[in-house]
């Protein structure tokens, strides 16, 4: 089998690093592309596997650092669970991912240590904090990590898993629900039933990379059916107040033309219905709701339907399983896994 050009370059660069031809940093992408007589695009493709292995670490505009760190962490039986929540109370009853993650960890004889970044996010910017904690590693949930921190943890061989998607250049191990696939299936179902004016409403997303992914996926999916409208996509750039559902409903109410169907990526249909009813919009004739229903509070009804169920117990198990793999093999290549939502077909026709 013929080896692709970028694969051969990957092998040559890795050999040069192992042979100490390069010391602390690789030459720039442009210099390397000149050396191998390929485009910068091909060279960047060749570097990607080395990032996922943790052999090199992206360092902004400077290029890529060579990771020769051989840190041996003490085995403590404690796992740091880093999360982002505006609540001071650790409430396992209402925290959809915390409780099953805690259970999975404890079933294997480990102890979870929970840390909230909401009030003191700037206190966690020093890499020494992450290197010195008496834990075996970290699991990040609820968008409690960013690209800079992910690259730093990778550089210093700190085991970690993220229960959110991250850009490929981070070289991070992560698991996440396959939102794009679920959105496509819901849109396909609504389109087949005659809906053309379809809108979507999201909760605030802490990680800009994930919000960009959602936005790009929505545009691609609806553009393929020639029904894309920029104003029918709503994902707030800043976290709304306590009345987030009312604020989100207000966004759609001020549009010149209200969608025929709304996909709510949060369990807020009752509040949306109330706000729309106050504006004189009848139900169920004028608008149809589907939901990504974390808690499965609602049952199939006249104009709302829990069409998309997020199995957080499955996400927790996958995140914990991946963490154990990383502990056993710190140099394993990065794993990115998408988990399907459980979907029910949206009922009714236009």
Q: Say yes or no: 183 and 284 in one domain.
A: yes
139 pLDDT more than 90: yes
Residues whose CB is less than 8 angstroms from the CB of residue 2 and which lie 6 or more positions away in sequence, other chains included: none
Answer yes or no: pTM beyond 0.85.
no
19 pLDDT more than 70: yes
Which of 30-39, 58-67, 224-233 has the weakest average pLDDT? 58-67
Q: Say yes or no: 144 and 193 in one domain.
A: no
Per the domain annotation, does 346 fall within a domain? no
pLDDT tens-digit readout, 23-61: 788 888 888 889 899 998 898 888 888 877 667 877 766
Most confident residue range from 222-231, 234-243, 339-348: 222-231
Per the domain annotation, does 235 fall within a domain? yes
**In this structure, which long-range contacts are made by residues 312-318, counting pairs with CB atoms below 8 Å and at least 24 apart in sequence?**
312/96, 312/97, 312/100, 313/100, 314/339, 315/97, 315/100, 315/163, 315/175, 315/176, 315/177, 315/339, 316/97, 316/100, 316/101, 316/103, 316/104, 316/163, 317/100, 317/104, 318/175
Contact, 334 vs 171, CB < 8 A? yes
108 pLDDT more than 80: yes
Q: Say yes or no: 150 and 191 in one domain.
A: no
CATH of the domain at 89: 3.40.50.2300
Most confident residue range from 41-50, 95-104, 161-170, 253-262: 253-262
Per the domain annotation, does 48 fall within a domain? yes
Q: Say yes or no: 285 and 332 in one domain.
A: no
Q: Say yes or no: 30 and 138 in one domain.
A: no
User: What CA–CA distance (Å, rounded) separates 92 from 321?
Assistant: 21
Per the domain annotation, does 350 fall within a domain? no
Per the domain annotation, does 269 fall within a domain? yes
Q: Say yes or no: 146 and 183 in one domain.
A: no
Of 66, 90, 118, the residue that ends a domain is: 66
Residue with tokens 């990771």: 67
Residue 105 belongs to domain spanning: 78-176+314-339
User: What CA–CA distance (Å, rounded) separates 140 from 331?
Assistant: 19
If one counts the domains in the chain, the total is 3
Per the domain annotation, does 305 fall within a domain? yes
Q: Say yes or no: 114 and 234 in one domain.
A: no
Q: Between these two residues, 302 and 223, which has the higher pLDDT value?
A: 223
Helix (H) or strand (E) holding 78: strand 78-83
Per the domain annotation, does 267 fall within a domain? yes
Would you call 27 exposed, middle or buried from its count of C-beta atoms within 10 A (0-12, 13-18, 19+)? middle
Per the domain annotation, does 200 fall within a domain? yes
Contact, 346 vs 190, CB < 8 A? yes
pLDDT tens-digit readout, 272-307: 888 988 998 876 566 777 776 554 444 445 566 667
User: What CA–CA distance (Å, rounded) separates 33 from 42?
Assistant: 8
């Amino acid at each position: 089998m013929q080896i692709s050009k970028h694969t051969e370059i990957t092998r040559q660069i890795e050999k040069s690093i192992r042979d100490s031809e390069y010391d602390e940093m690789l030459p720039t992408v442009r210099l390397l592309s000149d050396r191998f007589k390929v485009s910068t695009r091909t060279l960047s493709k060749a570097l990607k596997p080395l990032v996922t292995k943790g052999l090199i670490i992206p360092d902004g505009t400077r290029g890529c650092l060579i990771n020769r760190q051989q840190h041996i962490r003490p085995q403590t039986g404690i796992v740091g669970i880093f999360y982002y929540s505006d609540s001071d109370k650790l409430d396992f009853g209402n925290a959809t991912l915390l409780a099953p993650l805690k259970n999975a960890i404890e079933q294997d004889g480990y102890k979870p240590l929970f840390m909230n970044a909401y009030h003191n996010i700037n206190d966690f910017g020093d890499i020494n904090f992450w290197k010195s904690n008496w834990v075996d590693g970290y699991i990040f949930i609820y968008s409690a990590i960013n690209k800079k921190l992910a690259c730093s943890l990778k550089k210093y061989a700190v085991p970690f898993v993220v229960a959110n998607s991250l850009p490929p250049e981070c070289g991070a191990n992560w698991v996440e629900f396959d939102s794009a696939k679920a959105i496509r299936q819901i849109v396909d179902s609504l389109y087949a039933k005659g809906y053309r004016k379809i809108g979507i409403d999201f909760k605030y997303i802490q990680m800009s990379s994930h919000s960009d992914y959602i936005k790009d996926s929505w545009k691609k999916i609806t553009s393929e059916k020639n029904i894309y409208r920029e104003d029918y996509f709503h994902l707030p750039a800043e976290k709304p107040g306590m009345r987030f559902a009312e604020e989100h409903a207000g966004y759609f109410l001020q549009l010149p033309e209200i969608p025929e169907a709304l996909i709510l990526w949060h369990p807020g249909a009752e509040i949306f219905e109330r706000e729309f009813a106050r504006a004189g919009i009848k139900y169920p004739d004028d608008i149809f709701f589907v939901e990504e229903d974390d808690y499965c509070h609602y049952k199939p009804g006249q104009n709302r339907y829990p069409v998309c169920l997020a199995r957080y117990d499955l996400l927790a198990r996958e995140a914990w399983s991946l963490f154990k793999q990383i502990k056993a093999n710190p140099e394993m290549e990065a794993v990115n896994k998408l988990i399907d939502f459980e979907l029910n077909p949206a009922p009714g026709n236009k």
